[in-house]
Chains A and B, each alone.
Chain A
Amino acid sequence: MSRRETKPLNRAPHRTFAARFLVLVGVVAVLVPLLPLAAPSEVRLEEKLAPPSFGTLWRDGFEPDRIRDPGPLSRVLIDARIAVFGDGQLGPLLGTDALGRCLLSRLAWGARLSLAVGLVASAISLIIGVLWGAVAGYSGGRVDDIMMRIVDILYALPLMFIVIFVVALLRGFRNEHPELETNQIIVLFAVIGATSWLTMARIVRGQVLSLRGTEFMDAARAAGSTNLSILRRHVLPNVTPIVLVTLTLTIPRVMLFEAFLSFLGLGVEAPDVSWGVLARQGFDALTAVHVSAWLILFPGLAFASTLLAMNVLGDRLRDATDPRLRGDRR
């Protein structure tokens, strides 16, 4: 088994490269506050729409107060950063946007939010989907029928449109009452996560159903294991590979949806930045008289390379876990 599993990996160096790239993006996203970057919302109107250049590599003037309510972790990292770099910061190496904000810094901070949306929403869908699928498949019979019927009905609904509808309704309410501090990002997590668990539930249920007939499950039951302990010790470990595969393919989908919502003005709001917001701003800068290609080029590149790496990694995991789809058969 191990020989077969390692063979395709060795033959595909670009796939391990994808994994390394993702780790790099993840580390950058977590450690952004530690890096000597300008504050993402630091406006310098005298530098607006400056093209990428290495003219100013390093300069002073970091303003930690411009980073809007950082969490406890970010605060520690920012303190550490100030201890190391003082108020020095990198110049706008990738250019600036219409308000003179540093694109490099905004890309790095955007990675944080985009990845967070992808991970948290996928985690929500993972929890709901695995529980739903495992319970349905394990219970079988009438319970299974009803639970999967509910999934079927939800599948038939145009969930995307209902999500957009709900988010737009809430956004309209927010626009009229800006004094209410509702956190749009949490709404985003919840709504995306709550609507993308269906595929996961189906896959897990199918897997659990096929496990039910196996002998080691009968043995576990005969040995007096409770349902809960069978689920935990025998069922979950066996569905983990396929769940991981589905998860790696869910994250890019969720990130695309976030970008889509942000483009429509329904997702992440200023002053927060995500890659979707940056792509939107880059697009707006493009249609203006003054063509600033870097504003769409770099967010687009960041987005596409990250999603590409995730898709490649997901494919690789699928190939490794599903012998039927393995590429060496013809």
Chain B
Amino acid sequence: MAEERGSLTEHLASFPAGAPVQGATFLGETPVLVRDDGTLSLGEPAAPRAVTAHPEGTILSSRIAGAALLTGGDDGLVVATDAAGATRLVHDGKGKWIDALAARPDGTVAFASGRAVTTIDGKGAVRTTSVPTTARGLAFAPKGYRLAIAHYNGASLWFPNAAAPPELYEWKGSHLSATFSPDGRFLVTAMQESALHGWRLVDRANMRMSGYPTKVRSMSWSADGDWLATSGADSCVLWPFRDKDGPMKKTPLECAVRKAKISCVAFHPVSPLLAVGYEDGWVLLSRPSDQAELLVRRPDDDRSAITALAWDAKGDRMLLGTASGEAGLLTLPEG
């Protein structure tokens, strides 16, 4: 198995992240690691720069909001940091944990604290609403100013600029995170019950995607929107969303099978390639269509989980981070 895989390991630059990593992204060309200690690491591995976004706290969630990275902390702050390392305070919740964030490319942000959900659009207009139990996951619809809020016993869909209260999509159980399909037809939540739940928005048809041994913590849509890749099992489970029925009555595709659970997934932004990170620190690059695999990372010492994977916009480079504070930057070879 492993012997037959090609290898990209020589194209991976490993470096210490300085603290446990919980998120990774690129601000333009600049690699950014989000660290548990409330700081960000910006820049190339040779000369990273630490930015203290949350001096008194730890970061609970992060999202890209246009040209800035948004972070929410247990200090109650929502902070936007740009590629130059300049920070801007978006919201001060006076110590109330910021449990979830969402953002749009135009800089519109949403954050949740307890049952309260707030949006601030590009012009600075603030809207608030609340849901029946703690809001756990937020996601903006790809089109229109609409926010999905995952919570206990379902998800609520809210038009912040409309007077109407959020509309409840009910499904028993605890919904922890939310994502829209890129075409906006489906809403998918990851649940405490180690399953995904989906709604086809046009008719509220329910779809339950179950069978995971652990919670799904990482989900990623393919560039063409046809597939939703998920963590949580010892293979990467991909649900088909191309047809009008989505994954209903269909078997998912599986790839990147190993004897270790998948902790993180990230589709390439252009090609049908998928980066898969495992709980034992391995990273593979998989092509689900023919199950071809390339080895990206096989750690010698640090066997801690991959906690972050992110591609740059063009798909030339990929950044990864681990729970123990290691990081790596993969540069795909030409051709």
Real binding pair: no
- Which residues of B are in contact with A by a Cβ distance under 8 Å? none
Interface residues of A, Cβ cutoff 8 Å to B: none
